[in-house]
Structure 1
């Protein structure tokens, strides 16, 4: 490197998706890296080095998912890879830190292990202990265990846990797809005799799935495990020790019972040294289990304990029960340290919220979410469930012996061990808390797969939730391997239904195959997001048949007009105006939603086929999209630029999906959307599918003030209403907790659902302003929207191209915009009211004069409703005055029934209220006008 060359640092190098382990699932892993260098530096080539000597030369600036340039990896042979990069002048960077790489996969014909379990179990889902003795010869150079389970396992060598994953191997599309772990045991297996033990619970495999008391086991009644240990000698020869009939099993370990929904019972009086070389009585030969599935290697990180949360508050009741508050709604389980007499039973119940000071267990439905711990009485004992998890902020302990020290209990937070990539900050404290609530909801629901909720008798991979949240998920965390693995499950389940994507993946509900718009479209939307955010061509290529099959399955069920009508749909699920017991009853016609999604999916298939150079498919689906667009516009948009369903979701989907492209028509639709939002006094009027599109559509229409009022609304329903009620995660319903403090009476009421948190993607892309303009963030779009109520907003994302930072702040009468572009990218900048322009890597700053906000004028009983709604201070004054005179319930009804976009004077719209309201309003608004001078 020449003396003039600026310092160049390889920030990160990884093989395939995982950074938490050396194992890769393919013998030809792709390599990715990012570079940190001075502005103006550009990669013109690279060298990859294997094991310090074998070097491969690469030309160009590729640095994301670069093809493996060496011979294919062989199982259990460890390597180290590093990279250095070159600029156009021939200057080289230093070599990066080396990254370990090893093939963690076995070929199908190399899998020898039989699935084994307990012979003669006494009850369904009975926990099992299994063991075998291993004699490790002197001179062994490596020991690698491949292990999977129909259930959840923990493995031990001589009583020492072999890794830190929990609930392994997770949940996949059984019985068609099962993953295995690859674990290096070399350090735990010196020469001599050892005991390999496996503790097995039922996990997701033996769980009962279904609603309304109709739960049933769809996979199996008993857990089983398959494992094989490969010992390698110095000469390269090896020995394989695999599960089979020679293993021993017993069903009377300390875990008495275990279930995902029910919780776990642990009895320390049944503890035993079950890994000792001397066998206790009671061990019997294991039973082999038929399982027609060949496990495949893990591609996504496993579930782990990520952090511990201390007790924030503890209250002991008169009857001895102890109520714990952890200050944060989280997902995981409790770890207890306790001392007491043998036989003492401690019962732990969990809940997300309190009702009249007690655990609110109603929202759990049939999930008991209860752990029971029985003391042995031999000193300080530690308890922690291993085969279950709970969603909770509060826990209740019954039976605690003696005095209680809050430090003796901690909450163990668990989720898939994803790498955090996104951060957002603004001048609005409630907005920042909303962002953190979304982060916590994602953490709790990205547990082995993208679930809907973590607490009740569900916790399933609902496809609609997963697709609408994918853009936000990919801002907050690196979900490339996580979603990639789940998409394989989706394709497997889809194949069982002739191209129809089931409502949930894995498909344990086994409902009859029926396409549902917005849910089945996970097949097209998520691969497109993976391409946009990570430039992962392999996922796009692998999933293209699934993408096509979904669109084809929908089209086969339509009439000749290509309108998706007359079929079962979830629609704009959980519209805030839907009755609690009818969550699919939304303001927007289901045909509008479904046909809009058909257009979007056809468009995404065409684009994916174009990326993959399949010209025929690209043309086929582009033509289909054009036909659907024509049918949509003809059927659902009037000549006066009104949607047949005059509801926010109808306009938002039409605009953000680019169904309408004519600028004049788009402007009129955007204006009408703003009127719809104004009509409800800037309260949310959308459900699951409309909500992610709402702010984008408003900002595209240059309705910045409307977007500002909508985003920062704190009354119910709104994004910030739950925050004002103390929420620390995102709720399933806009009003999961009603304004009067009672729990929504609907049968579905979760306080941890990430779906409505999909707005966070908009906070990054449109409020702070940073988003991808080309796959893998090779080009950045910087299009910030300075909201009038904010003083600053900024975001940072660690992208495939490097770290991107951007945002704005108000400073001395100006708005200062700032953008940091990594060396692996350039940017298109669109500042408000200006034509776009391009910039290269480096830090950029622009200052523009801020437009002063208009001074609010006088208000009174003659002021039109739309002017009252547009004046946040006046609107609050009106609602407060009505509340004071007529009560909260009457004020809420008045707010909900009023058309706040109307030019009608305020005095003409209060005739249904008590006479005293008029006087109170006149006095309140008069006082406000006087204060304004």
Structure 2
């Protein structure tokens, strides 16, 4: 009997307050007999005024169009699905999914931003965090209540003394002038009959806090701290009431003395205001709020889950440094904050300083540059003890130096008094990998941890130093791996809208999004290969992995404008061989202070990416049915590839830049003329790997491609040699050095245990971890052969002495997996294909085989 899952609404994990009036639907199928295929589906939408049922003849089950009329603002409906097979029989209907829209129109908003009016200049960094509140009365039985909330800065809301929601660092970081995200909360159960109170904590965050390196900039997006909240109450008798932020609210200073993304948080519990969000509180003495402005047309609903605390990690050791400092070792480089539970004298101050590494037994903070990365808590002296965790900051750390602790730190840490709270965008995990080599498994774990720590509302470059911005090139190269490990469809499609918002009118894509002022190397914004190509290649990656042609439609103009910009820079010869480029950034041969000085010609890199992006736009146009654009951009891509070959490929098939990245680009981007050139390029690439002692010789551009290039040209053994090398520079060098995340530099920690002298040295940076996608696709052998895994390719490529590997992928159609192991002279493989998908099985020494849904096991002899 075919079973239909509860439908998923767009890419939402919790479809409350969604911003789509016609959300697309997806469902998964299970339990179908062999050979069964969906031929028809029926969607039923149950509304307050009745239900609509729409039947569609289609095998589609991923992101199908919304049936019936569009939803209104605040509308709450139930949706369920049934499917019909070729035999004409219908499944039982699926479980219901409740969904509710947010405020879809600008005129739905009556709230205005409000905050404390402090007489300080627009460049001030001394502004205290603040509180805002208002009391109101409930008169009657409540059917439902929703709080729609956002802020200039960061906020946490409370009703009647109880925290609203579980999100943190909300509303996140967007291009605030164009898009300010709001969140919807069901607060029905927090309200009581009679008097109530609503309030919010406010902190600087990205909106007005310090951003950027070399001292940074403050008040980049505005100088005010303001809460914008709209509480809408629906009574059982049909009455509606709105409590919105306006001039009736009051404000006061909070006990947060200082708060910043880079610098941490200082909190004085003696300045707490007990009960300030309870109905009985008397706010006499609080100040009237200042009412600010916000165009409601810029308020947008989220497309992804918020940032949340997702895990708690206890320290594995309490160390004493040579200087006598007490240091907690959490055993894992992570991103988050430390929660403390403590009892001590009033006025005592505890300080927590964070760092990723130790050097000579002390926490080593030089890699943080100007980020203070320190929190402090001054005790109120309550006999029963106190609990505190910073609200509006986060740190990247493994080690925490604790000073001023009033008790026995060793005993208290063992009892759970100091806990690291891991935070990141609360994405759904979708990809898993394992194999017989424990070092490779640790490498994969490092990639996962690195992604978690750098997907904090936006895809960042590092979580610890005075930077933490959305570098476009980093996520461009890591996008395939990110899309394997987690469901990033909603998060990255939302971030791409910010890319377009910050894209210049001439098509130039910034180096990082959202844009902040930066030193002269990065300002004014200039076009750069690999980084700007996020506009073309990331939408295509999301389409390939999640089957979402909507992201192509939304981003097509942005992608096209980027390629047109590069076309204008290249000129008639189609070679992008002028201007500032980062090239193969952080090639290990580059000097510490000049990471763009790579072995591969930076203009070879630029022209290769020009060809790849032109082809990507043609592919996007084909999916969208834009015939004229297909013709134009296919022709452009062919011209650029021909120019690339003429300029950078010699007659004998070798390249003018005789470097690993050059060959990897030419092979993977399909820029070579024929099989002969591909064979020569593959052989030369393998020779270069061997000549380097199997050590890495690629930077950000080449690293995601080099193993694929070797595998595609029949040199899988060389790819495994690269993977398994343990000498510096290599992936496993980091692992044997004790890394628990992926480093920014191959040699961020030198073999003698000292930190690389470069001023740009992060120990949590995901770009070089892009190899994990190859681990899934080639080592385990599980890949998407058609968008969204509608068709799956199982093609493990054995090597490196591995005796088993496996991968599991939670696809839009359901869970698929492969597990292989070598037993004597036989390869045994087990695969699972979800209902609605098909697969091809390509095993060494065996004919390719077509598979339908279900579990399949095969055994093939291995040739000596």
Farther off after superposition, 50-59 or 446-455: 50-59
Distance 2:831 2:437 in 1: 21
More deviation, 822-831/160-169: 822-831
Shift of 1:84: 2.2
Instruction: Show the counterpart of 2:29.
Output: 35
Give 1:85's aligned residue: 83
Match of 2:229 in 1: 227
Distance 1:283 1:778, change over 3 A: same
What residue is the counterpart of 1:282 in the other structure?
A: 285
Shift of 1:292: 4.2
Task: Mark the CA change 1:788 to 1:421 in structure 2 (over 3 Å): closer, same or farther.
Answer: same
Pick which of 819-828 and 518-527 moved more.
819-828
Is 1:301 matched up with 2:309? no
Give yes or no for the alignment of 1:452 onto 2:454: no
Stretch moving more, 619-628 or 93-102: 93-102
Shift of 1:838: 2.1
TM norm structure 2: 0.95
The partner residue of 1:467 within 476, 499, 509 is 476
Instruction: After TM superposition, give the deviation of residue 574 of structure 1 in Å.
Output: 0.3
Q: Counterpart in 2 of 1:747?
A: 759
- 1:361 — aligned with what? 365
Distance 1:368 1:382 in 2: 23
What residue number does 1:26 align with?
20
Q: Could you tell me which residue of structure 2 aligns to residue 420 of structure 1? A: 429
Q: Deviations over 1:668-704 (max 9, x none)?
A: 1111110111110111110001001101100011112
Q: Is 2:397 aligned against 1:397?
A: no
1:15 equivalenced with 2:9 (yes/no)? yes
C-alpha distance in 2 between matches for 1:535 and 1:113: 38
Task: State the Cα deviation string for residues 630-651 of structure 1 (Å, max 9, x = none).
Answer: 1001110001111100000000
Matched position secondary structure for 1:209: coil
* Distance (whole Å) between structure 2 residues aligned to residue 348 and residue 548 of structure 1: 48
Check the 8 A contact 2:6/2:81 in 1, yes or no. no
* Alignment partner of 1:387 out of 382, 386, 392: 392
Of the structure 1 ranges 706-715 and 100-109, higher mean CA displacement relative to structure 2 is found in: 100-109
Q: Is the 8 A contact 2:6 2:96 kept in 1?
A: no
C-alpha separation in 2, matches of 1:17 and 1:567? 39
Cα distance change, pair 735–316 in 1 and its aligned pair in 2 (3 A): closer
Deviation at 1:846, TM superposition (A): 2.6
Residue in 2 that maps onto 1:861: none
Q: Paired residue for 1:912?
A: none
The answer on 1:310 being equivalent to 2:314 is yes
1:145 alignment partner, SS class: strand
| Alignment map for 1:342-361 (pairs within 5 Å) | 342-361=346-365
Q: 1:679 is matched with which residue: 662, 674, 691?
A: 691
Change (3 A) 1:71 1:236: farther
2:44 maps to 49
1:374 aligns with 2:378: yes
Unmatched 5+ residue regions in structure 2? none
**2:241 aligns with one of 239, 242, 260:** 239
C-alpha separation in 2, matches of 1:311 and 1:732: 25
Contact kept in structure 2, 1:320 and 1:399, CA below 8 Å: no
Change (3 A) 1:326 1:340: same
Q: Cα distance 1:513–1:316, how it changes in 2: closer, same or farther (>3 A)?
A: closer
What SS class does the counterpart of residue 396 from structure 1 fall into?
strand
- Structure-1-length-normalised TM-score: 0.89
How far apart are the structure 2 equivalents of 1:415 and 1:713?
Answer: 31
Per mean C-alpha deviation after superposition, the further-off stretch among 799-808 and 375-384 is: 799-808
CA offset digits 1:151-181 (Å, max 9, x no partner): 1100000110111000111000122211101
Partner Cα separation in structure 2 for residue 759 and residue 318 of structure 1: 38
CA 1:833–1:589: 2 relative to 1, 3 Å: farther
Greater mean alpha carbon deviation, residues 113-122 or residues 317-326: 317-326
Q: Is contact 1:40–1:823 with CA below 8 Å preserved after alignment?
A: no
Work out the CA distance in 2 between the residues paired with 1:812 and 1:335: 52
Moved over 6 A (4+): none
Distance 2:708 2:606 in 1: 20
- Counterpart of 1:509 in structure 2 is 517
1:683 touches 1:717 (CA, 8 Å); kept in 2? yes
Question: Which residue pairs with 2:609 in the alignment?
Answer: 597
How has the CA–CA distance of structure 1 residues 833 and 632 changed in structure 2, closer, same or farther, with 3 Å as cutoff? farther
Q: 1:529 aligns to what SS in structure 2?
A: helix
Retained in 2: the 8 A contact 1:708–1:787?
yes
**1:247-276: CA deviation from partner (whole Å, max 9, x where unpaired):** 10112x211110000100111101112123
Aligned to 1:126: 128
Q: Which moved more, 1:228-237 or 1:770-779?
A: 228-237
CA distance in 1, matches of 2:324, 2:193: 52
Q: SS where residue 611 of structure 1 aligns?
A: helix
Distance 1:325 1:732 in 2: 22
State the partner residue of 2:585: 573
Out of 47-56 and 472-481, give the one that drifted further.
47-56
Rounded to whole Å, the distance in 2 between the matches of 1:615 and 1:129 is: 56
Deviation at 1:497, TM superposition (A): 4.6
1:471-507 Cα distance to aligned partner (Å, 9 max, x none) = 001110001100011000000000x452100000000
Match of 2:190 among 171, 188, 191: 188
Distance 1:214 1:382, change over 3 A: closer
SS of residue in 2 equivalent to 1:51 = strand
- 8 Å CA contact 1:76–1:144 kept in 2: the answer is no
SS across alignment from 1:205: helix
Change over 3 Å in CA distance of 1:687–1:319 after alignment to 2: closer
Higher radius of gyration, 1 or 2: 1
Give the equivalent residue in structure 1 for 2:563: 551
SS of the aligned residue for 1:767 comes to helix
Partner SS, residue 230 of structure 2 = strand
Indicate the SS of the match to 1:197: strand
- Which runs of 5 or more structure 1 residues have no equivalent in the other structure? 1-6, 853-933
Q: How does 1:45-124 map to 2 (within 5 A)?
A: 45-51=40-46, 54-121=52-119, 124=125
CA drift of 1:23 comes to 3.1
Secondary structure, in 3 states, of the residue corresponding to 2:616?
A: helix
- Pairwise CA distance, 1:21: 4.5
The structural deviation recorded for 1:22 is 3.0
CA distance in structure 2 between the aligned counterparts of 1:559 and 1:298, rounded to whole angstroms: 40
* Contact 1:114–1:288 under 8 Å retained in 2: yes
Distance in 1 (CA, whole Å) between partners of 2:72 and 2:140 is 24
C-alpha distance in 1 between matches for 2:741 and 2:37: 42
Residue aligning to 1:887? none
Q: 1:881 matched to which residue of 2?
A: none
User: Aligned partners of 1:563, 1:445: CA distance in 2, in Å?
Assistant: 34
CA RMSD of aligned residues (A): 1.6
Q: Do the aligned partners of 2:72 and 2:104 also contact (CA within 8 Å) in 1?
A: no
SS at match of 2:687: helix
Q: Secondary structure at the match of 2:571?
A: coil
Distance 1:237 1:70, change over 3 A: farther
In 2, Cα distance between the equivalents of 1:490 and 1:552?
A: 16
> What does residue 737 of structure 1 align with?
749
Question: Please, which moves more after superposition, 212-221 or 730-739?
Answer: 212-221
1:214 offset after TM fit, Å?
Answer: 4.7
Residues 26, 105 of structure 1: 8 Å contact kept: no
Q: Relative to structure 1, is the Cα distance of residues 250 and 565 closer, same or farther in structure 2, using a 3 angstrom cutoff?
A: same
Query: Are 2:9 and 2:15, in contact at CA under 8 Å, matched by a contact in 1?
Result: no
Q: Tell me the equivalent position of 1:491.
A: 500
Distance, in Å, in 1 between the alignment partners of 2:467 and 2:224 is: 20
d(CA) in 2 for partners of 1:317, 1:749: 23
Alpha-carbon separation, structure 2, partners of 1:203 and 1:214: 14
Q: Is the 8 A contact 2:150 2:170 kept in 1?
A: yes
Task: Tell me the distance in 2 between the aligned counterparts of 1:265 and 1:320.
Answer: 24
Contact 1:146–1:227 (CA under 8 A) maintained in structure 2: yes
Partner of 2:267: 266
The answer to whether the Cα contact below 8 Å between 1:817 and 1:846 also exists between their aligned partners in 2 is yes
For residue 720 of structure 1, give the secondary structure of its aligned residue in structure 2.
helix
Alignment coverage as a number of residue pairs:
844
Question: Quick check: 1:32–1:65 contact (8 Å CA) kept in 2?
Answer: yes
For 2:566 and 2:433, the matched residues in 1 are separated by 38
Alignment of 1:203-218 (within 5 A): 203-218=205-220
